[in-house]
Structure 1
Amino acid sequence: MKKILVTGADGFVGKNLVAELKNHGYENLYLYTRESSYEDLKKYTKDCAFVFHLAGVNRPKNEDEFMKGNHGLTEELLTQLKKNNNFCPILLSSSIQASQDNSYGQSKKAGEDAVFAYGNDTDANTYVYRLPNLFGKWSKPNYNTVVATYCYNIARDLEIQVNNPEAHLNLAYIDDVLEEFMNALNDNATKDNNYCTIPVTHEIKLGALATLIQSFKESRSDLSIVDMKNDLHKKLYSTYLSFLPEDQFSYDLKMNKDQRGSFTEFIRTPDRGQVSVNISKPGITKGNHWHHTKNEKFLVVSGQGVIRFRKLDSDKVIEYEVTGEKLEVVDIPVGYTHSIVNTGETDLVTVMWVNESFDPNNPDTYFLEV
């Protein structure tokens, strides 16, 4: 496998990229970080076959550090490659700020120009990405992105600032960035004139972002699941979970207990129904009711029991013996009164799905013994 140099290897994008390169079998990696020396750079540029130049400065103490960190390091890197007659491809992670007339933008634009000049002088392949706001696991709150800050603070009940709720954000998810970077490594980058682009990006208003991330925290109490058909929501939820405090990975559910056992709601969705866990003590019968529209799936995962059905206009009773030793799903059709009986000597544990979440104002549940 080719030797790959990654500058900024311990940053947000660098950590994710290094992990993905290893996933693809690349083990000969030169990792250049703030702890690396100039001698390391000279050594790495001798025989690297591809450069991911991710290192840069975006929050310096003094503004003059922008040019040194973003343009100066790029020039050093390119100079060493030329000295070593190593005209390998180079990928530069720039920023959409490069089009802005400020110290940071000017320094990023200078880095871009240096890479383009290197490509013109050497005929080396260059890939310059003006990245939008990035988000994903391993990003730093109060540093990399507002998404990281909101996720971190909301997960810890800390205050967040929403200065302009109507402000539009253009976001790219780290996994989509990695996919495109791997394409560039294989000389299949997505190009738009001189620049390369991340094909998948997302738009959201700042206020909507704050509200959405807040809903992720509340989902532990209302048991809701974000709409996973929305690609941005799915990616943001994954990011939020990566910011949970390490002592808060778990949360309690409300177990409704009585002498028969317990019933515990697990997940609620607006369009895909509800999942619950039912525990019945030995000899206990639960159910003996029917529904007009609600339909269910029962999956016994522990214990032994029998599920019984009877159509409302019939005396015929249908039985299904169920056990945790043989996982099978039993569909509960509408218009059939049904029950589940624990016929074993231990607790009967059943995972139950229903096609609509319980609404106390319209329970659609009518008592009738099987």
Structure 2
Amino acid sequence: MAITGGYGFLGWHTACRLRALYKSEVVRLGRQDFADPARLASALADVDAVIHIAGVNRAPDNEAEAVEKGNVVLATALIDALRALERSVDVVYANSVQAELDNPYGRGKARASELLKAATSELDGQFADLLLPNLFGEHGRPGYNSFVATFAHEVAAGRVPTVTGDRDIPLLHAQDAAAALIAGLGSDTRVTVDGEPLAISEVLAFFQETHELYRERGEVPDISTKMRRNLFNTYRAAVFPDMWPISPEVHADKRGELFETVRAHGGAGMTFMSTTLPGEKRGEHYHLHKVERFFVVKGEAEIELRRLLHEEVVTFHLSGDKPSFIDMPALWVHNIRNVGDTDLVTMFWADQLLDMKNPDQFPETIASKVSE
């Protein structure tokens, strides 16, 4: 299977989901592949399905013609590569609800859909056309992917974005969009994927609430609904790794010391403790949605994190001499290792009760290398 736009926002989320739930290693195609027809055809040589996400929704100086033609050019390049295979390949198209509107982006997406459907049918493949609403999620590009990404980064930086023309916008998390695209594989259909309507001002208000509670104090806001949790994870991606670690105030007297480990304002949660022997390691997994906190109470710990399908590793050193915690961002592989000479005592908190049938925990090592 291949994903065009595989290194972009939705492409990355889709590749992550396929890796987590289906153990599928996909061919990820980017700009360089589309710039060379022979290279694109070669990359598709062994695939039986393509999720076509690559698209153009912005252009230099907001040139309308470039946006409209750009999506058609990408679709045409993919079609030429598929025809060169001389066999059937199923295609799932990440279309947009804008395709039903008369604007440059919508016209370009609509025309690309028509071309892809005709070519896939000609090659005896199945074509699924999914019209997606406004997408948001972890690691969206501010000023490009959505206003949600822009607001998250602006608020995280301590700025206050301006809301103009406040209205409800149907929003869909990128993992839900990825799930819909994957479900479309092997089908011949046209589906409009619904988002959850949310006012622009509500999104801003949530990020401002989160900034005050989370960025400034390490407190978890109310994430009792799926939308609030998804917005929270979007904000967490915007502040990682800059806000970590956090060391709460320690209250000490003749009896000993006391400090808060978690203050959550709504939703489920569970807490557990562990001791880890010197040199031993825990973790080596990632989550799609779960919020997880590592709080080092005693001993010396090294925490490593690597964004899924990337190679750069972020490392933190935490010590029980100054009790501190770090929250693991969604879609980042993480572990914790005892680098001291005594037992490491760690408190863990998660925002959801453990469900053994659906634990939202996927094994992977920090050391795994991903070729770009």
Question: Any residues of structure 2 matched to 1:32-43 within 5 Å, and which?
Answer: 32-36=29-33, 37-43=36-42
- The code of the aligned residue for 2:262 comes to I
CA shift, 1:80, in A, is: 2.6
1:26 is aligned, of 5, 24, 28, to 24
| CA 273–11 in structure 1, closer or farther in 2 if over 3 Å, else same | closer
- The code of the aligned residue for 2:175 comes to D
2:12 is aligned, of 15, 33, 46, to 15
Deviations 1:234-270 (A, max 9, x none): 1111111111142312223233333433333343445
The percent of aligned pairs where both chains have the same amino acid is: 24
Tell me what 2:226 maps to: 231
Retained in 2: the 8 A contact 1:45–1:86? no
3-state DSSP class of the match of 2:31?
coil
CA shift, 1:164, in A, is: 2.8
1:267 is aligned, of 258, 262, 265, to 262
3-state DSSP class of the match of 2:95?
strand
Tell me what 2:143 maps to: 142
Tell me what 1:159 maps to: 160
CA shift, 1:150, in A, is: 1.1
1:207 aligns with 2:201: yes
Quick one: distance in 1 between partners of 2:30 and 2:249?
Answer: 48
Quick one: distance in 1 between partners of 2:193 and 2:254?
Answer: 58
3-state DSSP class of the match of 1:47?
coil
Question: Higher relative contact order at CA 8 Å, sep ≥6: structure 1 or structure 2?
Answer: 2
Retained in 1: the 8 A contact 2:52–2:93? yes
Retained in 1: the 8 A contact 2:37–2:77? no
- The code of the aligned residue for 1:171 comes to L
1:251 aligns with 2:241: no
| CA 52–252 in structure 1, closer or farther in 2 if over 3 Å, else same | same
1:59 aligns with 2:54: no
CA shift, 1:226, in A, is: 2.8
- The code of the aligned residue for 1:48 comes to V
Retained in 1: the 8 A contact 2:224–2:267? no
CA shift, 1:59, in A, is: 0.6
| CA 269–20 in structure 1, closer or farther in 2 if over 3 Å, else same | closer
Retained in 2: the 8 A contact 1:90–1:126? yes
Quick one: distance in 2 between partners of 1:8 and 1:273?
Answer: 36
Quick one: distance in 2 between partners of 1:25 and 1:269?
Answer: 34
Tell me what 1:170 maps to: 170
Tell me what 1:90 maps to: 91
CA shift, 1:232, in A, is: 0.3
Retained in 2: the 8 A contact 1:266–1:275? no
| CA 49–207 in structure 1, closer or farther in 2 if over 3 Å, else same | same
Unaligned runs of 5+ in 2: 272-296, 299-344, 348-372
Quick one: distance in 1 between partners of 2:268 and 2:77?
Answer: 58
1:47 aligns with 2:46: yes
Unaligned runs of 5+ in 1: 277-300, 303-348, 352-370
| CA 181–154 in structure 1, closer or farther in 2 if over 3 Å, else same | same
3-state DSSP class of the match of 1:204?
strand
Measured on the aligned residues, the alpha-carbon RMSD in Å equals 3.0
CA shift, 1:274, in A, is: 11
Tell me what 2:288 maps to: none
Calculate the TM-score normalised by the size of structure 2: 0.65
Retained in 1: the 8 A contact 2:221–2:265? no
Larger radius of gyration between Structure 1 and Structure 2: 1
Quick one: distance in 1 between partners of 2:44 and 2:270?
Answer: 56
1:241 is aligned, of 216, 232, 236, to 236
Calculate the TM-score normalised by the size of structure 1: 0.66
Retained in 1: the 8 A contact 2:71–2:108? yes
Quick one: distance in 2 between partners of 1:54 and 1:179?
Answer: 13
3-state DSSP class of the match of 1:242?
helix
Quick one: distance in 1 between partners of 2:17 and 2:113?
Answer: 25
Quick one: distance in 1 between partners of 2:270 and 2:49?
Answer: 49
Decide which moves more: 216-225 or 206-215: 216-225
